Structures are given as C-alpha cells and as structure tokens.
C-alpha cells in the first residue's frame, strides 16, 4: 500500500487533503510536517513512497526540503502542491528534484491524478502549470530566476519574504557573510540595484506572495 508524507504549514489544509487522499483505495498518509526540517526528519523516519510538499513553509522553503530529501534518497518521489503558479518557480522545483507540480487552484482530481502519475514514476503537472511552462517556452522568455542556482533562489525567497540576512543564514545553516555575498551575486545576475528591486523581481516571478494588505480586495 503506497504511503504518503504531507508537508504544509497549515494543519487545516493538511487535514483536507489527507481526507481526500485516504478516500482513494490503497493510499495512506503516514506522517505530516509543517516545516522543511520536519519534512526531512519524517521522510527519513518513514521512507514514504511519496511526499506532497507546499513551497511556502516557515524558514527554508519546500524547494530546500526537496533538495535535502533527494540528497538523502535519490529515488524519492516528490510532488509539489502550491499556490505559486509561475513557470520559473515550477522549473526551480523540478530542478531541485520534484517529479510533479500541482497548483492549489486545481480541482481535487488534478491532485489525485498527479499522485497516481508520480507513484508510477511519471512526471505530472496540473493543466495550469503545464500551460504556464508551455507559454514561457513558446515565447522563449527567459525568466529572471532561471539565471539563479537553486541555493540562490532559496536565499532570494527568504530575503524577499522579509527575512534578514542573519535569519536567512540561520535558516539555511550558512554564515551571514555567505548570505551577503550570495545576495550581491544575485543582484548582479538580475541587474537589481537595491533590495527593493530584488523583492519586486521575486514578486513578479511568483517566488513570494504580496503582503495581505497589498493584495486587491476580492
């Protein structure tokens, strides 16, 4: 019976898709995590057949969790389930080792289809993610984040999300000097003159979400 690890920092969200998944014959959720560090520990403890991960986690993001899990288990099957729908973010997740990517705007069946596909060893995407990547490739649009390494994307995500260089260093087990040097390299690669410009680029690429008070009213 395939076993699944759920990684999302919202317990209510985890409960919702736990119920969805366990209604499917033969699937069982063996553990739940709310952070990248918990995901890594629980993956080691349970060795699930599949991990479903959000990208927006406290501290290191889901991309960091994907990278660490794949370093420990090169055959790990990892499926992203995220609100982020940008092509650049999806490509970063695949580059880190994800086998699938489903947006949370998708109908429940899209997640179940992706779960089945990844468990079969296939690459899976919800239709909106596949469309975003296809449109980006057809337009030959080189997204700014494509110029960055996965580690640089991780640092940019933390800083653009409001973390200080010291906090980012602690979250990623790096020295503050390494983070500062990496930020300088990121600015050079992206042509950003200020930290505010870096945040603007990260928002435009879908790497971080705008603050609640900056979002348009429904």
Count CB atoms within 10 A of the CB of residue 120.
9
**Same domain (yes/no): 126, 41:** yes
**Same domain (yes/no): 205, 189:** yes
Average confidence score pLDDT of the chain:
86
- C-alpha 28/C-alpha 61 separation (Å) is 25
Give pLDDT, residue 202.
Answer: 81
**Same domain (yes/no): 23, 131:** yes
**Same domain (yes/no): 107, 183:** no
pLDDT digits (tens, 9 = 90+) for 57-104: 887 888 889 999 999 999 999 999 998 887 888 888 998 899 999 999
Looking at 92, 110, 138, the residue that finishes a domain is 138
pLDDT digits (tens, 9 = 90+) for 151-189: 888 888 888 888 888 888 888 888 889 999 999 899 888
Give pLDDT, residue 217.
Answer: 41
Residue 21's Cβ-count burial label (10 Å; 0-12, 13-18, 19+) is buried
Q: Would you say 47 and 61 are in contact if contact means Cβ atoms under 8 Å apart? A: no
Looking at 138, 164, 187, the residue that finishes a domain is 138
Question: Total domain count for the chain?
Answer: 2
**Same domain (yes/no): 81, 151:** no
Which residue's entry shows tokens 């969805």?
Answer: 20
Question: Range of 200's domain?
Answer: 144-214
Residue 201 sits in a domain whose CATH number is 1.10.10.10
**Same domain (yes/no): 82, 44:** yes
pLDDT digits (tens, 9 = 90+) for 29-66: 999 999 999 999 999 999 999 999 998 888 788 888 99
CA distances from 142 to 5, 30, 96 (A): 33, 39, 18
**Same domain (yes/no): 134, 112:** yes
3-state secondary structure of 75: coil
CA distances from 61 to 53, 71, 199 (A): 10, 16, 16
141 has pLDDT over 80: no
């Amino acid at each position: 019976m395939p076993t699944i690890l759920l990684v999302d920092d919202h317990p209510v969200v985890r409960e919702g898709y736990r119920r969805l998944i366990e209604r499917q014959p033969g699937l069982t959720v063996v553990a739940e995590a709310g952070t990248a560090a918990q995901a890594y520990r629980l993956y080691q403890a349970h060795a699930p057949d599949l991990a479903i991960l959000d990208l927006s986690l406290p501290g290191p993001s889901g991309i960091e969790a994907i990278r660490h899990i794949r370093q420990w288990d090169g055959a790990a099957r990892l499926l992203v389930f995220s609100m982020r729908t940008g092509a650049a973010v999806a490509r970063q997740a695949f580059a880190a080792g994800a086998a699938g990517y489903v947006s949370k705007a998708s109908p429940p069946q899209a997640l179940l289809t992706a779960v089945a596909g990844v468990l079969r060893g296939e690459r899976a995407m919800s239709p909106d993610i596949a469309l975003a990547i296809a449109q980006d490739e057809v337009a030959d649009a080189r997204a700014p984040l494509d110029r960055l390494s996965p580690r640089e994307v991780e640092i940019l995500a933390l800083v653009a999300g409001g973390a200080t260089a010291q906090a980012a260093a602690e979250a990623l087990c790096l020295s503050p000097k390494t983070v500062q040097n990496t930020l300088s390299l990121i600015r050079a690669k992206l042509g950003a003159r200020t930290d505010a410009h870096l945040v603007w680029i990260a928002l435009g690429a879908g790497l971080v979400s705008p603050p609640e008070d900056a979002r348009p009213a429904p």
